[in-house]
Structure 1
């Protein structure tokens, strides 16, 4: 008898819940909407006055002298063959010997460059070993007179099948990777 009472109680609770849900629905008027702005968003005109802004101005201006997109700095050398040659001959690293940190440049190189160029810069990365890409040169190839400027230019814009890393690495990180590539090149030439 005790078991039957539990079953009857469960049926009664379920029946009350179903009746409660059905009775709340009235087809002659709309149901309640929770967070209605998610369903029927308020239309705003571009540059209209708003209470959001302290002085009611259409839009806020950025602080004078700031550069948008985090620490993005525009690169003045063009993405052309002439720009590459100019960078190769003239662009120098802003880092002095005390600012070069291989503990920063090395891991970044391994993440972004080592997959193709190899962790030693010998052109034998995992993708080359697996023959997914071919023709990745070693940093010590006689025909490749790479310089500080050419490395930075290629990191910024990419070259041939190599894509740009301007969005993945900020300016400081790019220069650290350049310093690490120069170290690998020197190690390979020994």
Structure 2
């Protein structure tokens, strides 16, 4: 993969992410979408429809992200339902796995791959047209002792995921007992 292709992909995906967060922030405030975004509160009669025009409804606000992360599972269950609780659990689980795998990848595997001699060194003067293969496992020669780092990393990440699954199941069982 070329550096310029990677930067293009990062730019496009970042732009789409900002666009979708902005659209969600605007659409969730529209009275016609209340049945989609707060159906439980409408069914219980806790939320009233506001039909008067307000300019604030058209301005995106990122405050909902902070409020969503601050809610406890009990609060989230009572206001948004079980699907929101499950979604937040999946997101937090994925973030933990990604953080752990990212730390291993950046601080262990990346230096191991860069120390390989299978490919030519990277030319920082013409960085945008260079390949990123120097940073991958393809830079290690076949039968190298450094391949054990990749083997160990796979088992470490797998063990961490199993630990997280066990920890989550223990939490669920302890909540059911209470």
**Larger relative contact order (Cα-Cα within 8 Å, sequence gap ≥ 6):** 2
TM-score tier, shorter chain, comes to: under 0.3
Please state which structure has a larger fraction of its residues in helix: 2
| TM-score, normalised relative to structure 1 | 0.20
| TM-score, normalised relative to structure 2 | 0.20
